[in-house]
Amino acid sequence: MRIGFMMNYSPERIAFAKRHGFKSLELMAGPGDGYFPGDPGWEAKADELKAAYAKEDLRISCVAGFYINHMEPGKEKECADCVRGTITLAKRLGVGVVAGFAGRLVNQPLEASLPKFKEIWGEHAKLAEDNGIKIAFENCPMGDVNTPSHGTNMMCTPYIWEAAFNEVPSPALGLEWDPSHFIVMFIDPIGTVRKFGSKIYHVHAKDAHIYTDLLSKYGLSYPGVVEGCFPGLGDTDWGACIKELRRQGYTNDLNIEGWHDHVFRGQLEDEGTVIGLRYLERFVVQD
């Protein structure tokens, strides 16, 4: 197991990762990046990217390629091409996991999206299986106050995971587990690992803190009650979570997802990322 962070490919981010002791990364990729399938000369650029990370012993543990609403009317082909391209890129790079959202029929109950989920992800699962790739759905609801209300990603609660995996019983489909979203919804993160450990293919190391003084006065929707943050600055018991991930056989990496902390952002973003690394290193001996 290694610790890394989400990044676009660039020599500057590689140098930053190497300087501070990160050992892995989640590669963000999409059309127009140069190395994404369909871009001119993408194969050669992808090979250069792969060599650049290998030279610095940075492992690409996941390709992040489709954080979009796949069920948005009129976007079907665009979204499908994005998933197929991400799988093709991962295979070229020798990476076994791709990640993103499952999509959702907005303003409808989560269960209403199950037929569309079966239609869309049943096909993508076949392609992923044929190429030896795992698809990991992040559990961010993408809704109001990071809850399912008005959200755009159906794969956000344990009960809908079970229903979705029953609809498409493919070993290619699993989870990009992120405990910060459980904190916001008052779900025990460790319980989700115990139940779905075999389906966790990638981990987002991101946390959240709930200010209970504001919660008791104003409720969950009040600005500032919920605060996204880096690992070690929130309410997740990372030691217990990592131990349970190990118990369930998780062997992939932990990649920090930034951009959400209310203090360590902008010019302080990199400082927060390193704080997250130093905290997680208490529980992980990077191989």
Identify the three-state secondary structure at position 62: strand
Model pLDDT, residue 146: 86
Question: What 8-state DSSP symbol labels residue 263?
Answer: S
Structure tokens, 143: 């809704």
**Residue 138, H or E segment:** strand 134-138
Whether 186 and 145 have beta carbons less than 8 Å apart is answered as no
pTM of the model: 0.97
Which one is the CATH code of 3-205+251-257: 3.30.1490.20, 3.90.1150.10, 3.20.20.150, 3.40.50.620? 3.20.20.150
Whether 60 and 17 have beta carbons less than 8 Å apart is answered as no
Nearest to 125 by CA among 168, 92, 156: 168
CB hemisphere CA count around 74 (13 angstroms): 0
Identify the three-state secondary structure at position 202: strand
Which parts of the chain sit beneath pLDDT 50?
none
CB hemisphere CA count around 273 (13 angstroms): 26
End-to-end CA distance of the chain: 6
Compute CA 260 distance to the chain's CA centroid, rounded to the nearest angstrom: 14
CA–CA distance, 161 with 165 (Å, rounded to integer): 6
Nearest to 114 by CA among 100, 103, 125: 103
Whether 97 and 252 have beta carbons less than 8 Å apart is answered as yes
For the chain, domain boundaries = 3-205+251-257
Residue 226, strand partner residues = 210
* pLDDT (tens digit per residue) in 251-283: 999 999 999 899 999 999 999 999 999 999 999
* pLDDT (tens digit per residue) in 153-164: 999 999 999 999
